[in-house]
Amino acid sequence: MEYNPKIMAFLCKWCSYTGADLAGTSRMEYKPNVHAIRVMCSGRIEPTFILKAFHEGADGVLIFGCHPGDCHYQEGNYKCLRRYHLLKKYIRQMGIEPERIKLEWISASEGKQYAELVNSFTQTITELGPCHVKEKMAILT
Amino acid sequence: MAEEKQKIKMAVYWGAACGGCCVSVLDVHEALFDVVAAADLVFWPIALDTKYQDVEEMPDGHIDLTLFNGAVRNSENEHMAKLLRQKSKILVAYGSCSHLGGIPGLANFSTKEEIFQRVYFDSESTTNPGKVLPQIEYQVAEGILELPEFYNDVRHLANVVDVDYFMPGCPPQTARLVEVFMAIVSGAELPPPGSVIGAGDKAQCDECTRKKSENKGIKKFYRPWEVVDDGETCFLEQGLLCMGPTTRTGCDFRCIEGNAPCRGCYGPTPDAIDPGAKMMSAIASVIDEKEPAAIDKILEDLVDPAGYFYRYSLPSSYIRRKMS
Amino acid sequence: MKKITIDPITRLEGHGKIEIFLDDAGDVKNVYFQVPELRGFEKFCEGRPVEEVPYIVTKICGVCPGCHHMASGKAVDAVFGVKPPPTALKLRDLFYMAHFVHSHIAHFYALGAPDFVVGPDAPKAERNILGVIGKVGVDIGKEVIKQRRIAQEIQALLAGHQTQCMMNVPGGVRKGLTEEERDDIVKKAEDFIEFSKFSLKIFEDVVLSNQKYVDIILHGPYSLKLHSMGLVDENNHVNFYDGKVRVVDTKGFELHKYAPADYQDYVAEHVEPWSYLKFPYLKQIGWKGFIDGQDSSVYHATPLSRLNASDGMATPLAQKEHDRMYGVLGGKPVHNTLAMHWARLVELLYSAEHCLELAQDPDIVGKELRTPIEKVVGEGADTVEAQRGTLTHHYWTDDKGVVTKVNIIVGTTNNNAAINMSIKKAAEGLIKKGTEVSDGILNMIEMAFRAYDPCFSCATHSLPGEMPMIVEIKDADGKLIQRVQRN
């Protein structure tokens, strides 16, 4: 069966989800591998979500937030940024390529940038191959 | 006329364990007399001469309460977990190893092969020119000798059998054991099966006696030998990693009393599905930097994230073993 | 051939089983003592910051976590090239003496004594601490429990918790003692001394006054001529915390005396396919198999071997008891396995006396608890005596102090070959053509290992698995007769 990457994306309501919406309403074409989940703020995103995504079969996870300084709740995106850096360190230690998660800032007007980021990340995840966390964790050896 | 209360039948058994949980039971000290007044100990290898054969011959459900400590890391541990599930009315995962995987769970960073290599071939004091390794079945002149099969993955108890209750701690604080035991023998109503008992629902920080302020920004993670703890301020505020923010109470703050930061043996607070991820979230949030490069610089001193955040709980986490 | 299995062995710490093969006549053909457990500390400590290792290796054993905590703390000091200040060293020693008091009390009364107090072939259900309390009375039982509790409390005061030991940091300890705490410990140490004397009296009354037991100790199938290992101070007196490793031969003459860091020149570990536990032996003699005697390379590391390997005890009352024991048993070295129980009580008395000495030392309430760390040397090895034998931890780290390699030789592991042979000898002595192999007989075989106070969680800190194997059978000249391959 051909490998079709499964990518989870978490988007904050105020900037990035709106930006993604713009990509849609503007009929921009981009790869369909992303499953989007909207949260109120990127500061709501915690490592548990990303780890659960891998555990359930994701090959890559995208995190989108408002640009630094523009967070609707002031500092939420900074919290997200710090967690993202620690999480990369942790998953590298666990033998998962840190490139499988990516944090990007997208404003409400950046529909084009959203589409481009989705395409390039899908390409990265295609090249990295399937993640295998789900299969590996499913069987006790 | 007073009715003589029937004694409950109790067992304590160890899987891949260190014996500390059994010692925590012995550490009831003078309360031992209350325990034996209320319970017949029927199986406890550290202290009693009951053998496996005797347990096999017990009727199902014969044992009222079994405290199973230790992780499941070989076929013997798994067999005994299943046997004791069958023979017990209440099965408690007692201590960090059976609750979450425990320290033996750290072996999930390596494979079985990597571990043999180290122990039987590469260890500096080992002389093994014939590259001999222990065998599950080995023919000697007189017959066949058997050893249990060692698994690649360390498991916590709930991965192997249905568990009625979880008692956290490495080891569980004996005072909590006595409370739970007295509740069971007095016939008090027990929480629903699957509950964590003998531990609080709040995080350590809630009741910790160390001085706390609102200033929780971390500018540097100090290795413990780089600073001298002042003995009274919150560890995190001194830049010393402490798992207090997401670890349950129940241990009576024994490490804090010893001037040591918490390492999370009582397991995560009820809202955490993955035992280390909430802690990563909490710690990362208070890193006092906004630029990626500066954040990475601070994180450089956090040399072993998985070993800090999953010290006692690797087998029960989402990424429960290192991907090879 | 008939096979009798004892599974699991009981009244000890850890997992083990015994397989006894009988020939058709009903005599013992061979006996194997197998350790079925392993966990992998020597592998999974890799990647951990070295200062965290003293809190991880306490989980090698929950009965003697303090031993690993101390050996580890000393090895970590060496990794940083520092020695703790005098107060810190004395606090560690004080903790350690309380640790010995707890463990030796637990072993004697709960694990070993049932065989003597209740009787080796008493019904199974009575051969335990409750049976002992039933025989000696509740008051004595309460005193045993109380003294052990106090020993645990002293450790908790110094280390946070007696099992979850958090005391050691690189270069020292985390917590000091106040004068009130010290005064309280002085009183408790005095009580320990009285209780130790009392325990020796119980041994006298229950064991030494009973001719049947004396016969078992002196003439029963529980005797092996082995070399003895133990840590000694500069006066060659028994020391648990620090010193040099001394090995004396079966006649009592010094074979080796070495600094702990040099252990690899003196001790090597042999592997057998039927046990997960390795078999240490004296490297310079070379592995000669499961034989005892002067020419063997097998040694033991137990309370008895510590006393054998020393010129005496460092405290006066323990020295008197040491002399009394050797007087009764016929001089040094003693090879009667069951005498380990007696030696253990002599050590209990020493621990109590030394505990008092330390508590009365003015340095013990000093404020200087840590030596500052200036560099990472990157390698450290050191040794303590665990209650069950000589314990060595050896760590290698990178320049950030993160562990790259670990090697540990544990107290009980030293005794693996000796335990095998002791069990075999007991079985051969107790099961002969026509013997009805009762539960009591099997328990008397187990008594052979119980004297060693084994700790197989300790011993089996490391992990193996399933792999292809080649067995080569060679004749006495080393010529290959047969080669058998599996997988």
Q: Is C329 helix (H, G, I), strand (E, B) or coil?
A: helix
DSSP H or E segment with residue B138: strand B137-140
Tens of pLDDT, residues C235-277? 999 999 999 999 999 999 999 999 999 999 999 999 999 999 9
Contact between C337 and C422 under an 8 Å Cβ cutoff? The reply is yes
- In chain A the first and final C-alpha atoms are separated, in Å, by 25
For the cut 60, the answer to whether the pLDDT of residue B3 exceeds it is: no
Q: How confident is the model at residue B265 (pLDDT cuts 50, 70, 90)?
A: very high
Q: Mean pLDDT, to the nearest integer, of B193-208?
A: 96
Q: What pLDDT, on a 0 to 100 scale, did the predictor assign at position B4?
A: 58
Best probe of the B interface among C2, C42, C59, by most B CBs < 10 A, is C59
The verdict on a CB contact (< 8 Å) between B107 and C56 is no
Q: Is B295 on the interface with C (CB under 8 A)?
A: no
Contacts with B290 from chain A: Cβ below 8 Å: 68, 78, 81
Q: What pLDDT, on a 0 to 100 scale, did the predictor assign at position C481?
A: 57
Q: Mean pLDDT, to the nearest integer, of B138-164?
A: 96
Q: Is B200 helix (H, G, I), strand (E, B) or coil?
A: coil
For the cut 70, the answer to whether the pLDDT of residue C483 exceeds it is: no
For the cut 90, the answer to whether the pLDDT of residue C124 exceeds it is: no
Q: What pLDDT, on a 0 to 100 scale, did the predictor assign at position C470?
A: 46
Strands (E) in B4-95, as ranges, are 8-14, 39-43, 63-69, 72-74, 88-94
The verdict on a CB contact (< 8 Å) between A54 and B319 is yes
Q: How far apart are CA B69 and CA B97, in angstroms?
A: 7
What would the DSSP string read from start to end of C86-108?
Answer: HHHHHHHHHHHHHHHHHHHHIII
Beta bridge partners of A35: A8
Q: How confident is the model at residue C453 (pLDDT cuts 50, 70, 90)?
A: confident
CA distance C346 to chain B (A): 23
The verdict on a CB contact (< 8 Å) between A95 and B322 is yes
Q: What pLDDT, on a 0 to 100 scale, did the predictor assign at position C13?
A: 84
For the cut 70, the answer to whether the pLDDT of residue C150 exceeds it is: yes
The verdict on a CB contact (< 8 Å) between B319 and A51 is yes
The verdict on a CB contact (< 8 Å) between A93 and B295 is no
Q: Which residues of chain A have pLDDT under 70?
A: 1
Contacts with B270 from chain A: Cβ below 8 Å: none
How many other CB atoms are found less than 10 A from the CB of residue C200? 21
Q: Mean pLDDT, to the nearest integer, of C87-102?
A: 98
C8: nearest CA in chain B? B51
For the cut 70, the answer to whether the pLDDT of residue C476 exceeds it is: no
Q: Beta strand C227-232 with C244-248: parallel, antiparallel or unpaired?
A: antiparallel
The verdict on a CB contact (< 8 Å) between A82 and B289 is yes
ipTM of the complex: 0.96
C-alpha radius of gyration, chain A, whole number: 15
For the cut 50, the answer to whether the pLDDT of residue C468 exceeds it is: no
CA distance C331 to chain B (A): 34
- Model pTM score: 0.94
Residues 6+ apart with CB under 8 A from C2: C21, C22, C26
Tens of pLDDT, residues C396-409? 999 999 999 999 99
Q: Mean pLDDT, to the nearest integer, of B217-233?
A: 93
CA distance B189 to chain C (A): 30
Tens of pLDDT, residues C43-74? 999 999 999 999 999 999 999 999 999 999 99
For the cut 80, the answer to whether the pLDDT of residue B271 exceeds it is: yes
Query: What per-residue string of b and e applies to A87-108 under the rule 16 or more CB within 10 Å gives b?
Result: bbbbbebbebbeebbbbbbbbb
